[in-house]
Amino acid sequence: LVKMLEEKWGVSAAAPVAMVAAGAAGAAAEPVEEKTEFDVIIKDAGPKKIEVIKVIRQLTSLGLGESKTLAETAGGKVLSAVGKDAAQDAKKKLEEAGGVVELA
């Protein structure tokens, strides 16, 4: 069975052990890259949920219903893979409206 899987998928059963050790050594030697793309995640809409929903609608092209659902969903992504400046601007606007926001 192992040989059949190795032939079909082109993998080796012994490779993961060697790759994990090599990956750990390679990761330690590389300098840390600065993150260039961020996700804007809403943790809590806070007491001013309507204001947060308005800001979400401004930042995205979502309708009222989708914006409300997103504001009520803890951990919902308002924006995905945006630049640092855009993410910080969105975070500032959402926090000014009363929301709790995280950049990931």
Residue-level pLDDT at 80: 85
Residue-level pLDDT at 31: 55
5 belongs to a structural domain: no
CA atoms of 14 and 39, how far apart (whole Å): 37
- Residues of the chain where predicted confidence (pLDDT) is lower than 50: 15, 17-18, 20-23, 25-26, 28-29
19 belongs to a structural domain: no
Residue-level pLDDT at 104: 84
Residue-level pLDDT at 20: 47
Phi then psi dihedrals of residue 49, to 5 deg: -60, -35
65 belongs to a structural domain: yes
92 belongs to a structural domain: yes
Give the number of domains in the chain.
1
What is the residue range of 46's domain? Answer: 38-103
In what helix (H) or strand (E) does residue 40 lie, and over which residues does it extend? strand 38-44
**36 with 84: CB under 8 angstroms?**
yes
59 belongs to a structural domain: yes
27 belongs to a structural domain: no
What is the chain's Cα-based Rg? 21
Residue-level pLDDT at 18: 46
20 belongs to a structural domain: no
78 belongs to a structural domain: yes
Distance of CA 66 to the CA centre of its chain: 19
pTM, two decimal places: 0.63
CATH assignment of the domain containing 92: 3.30.1390.10
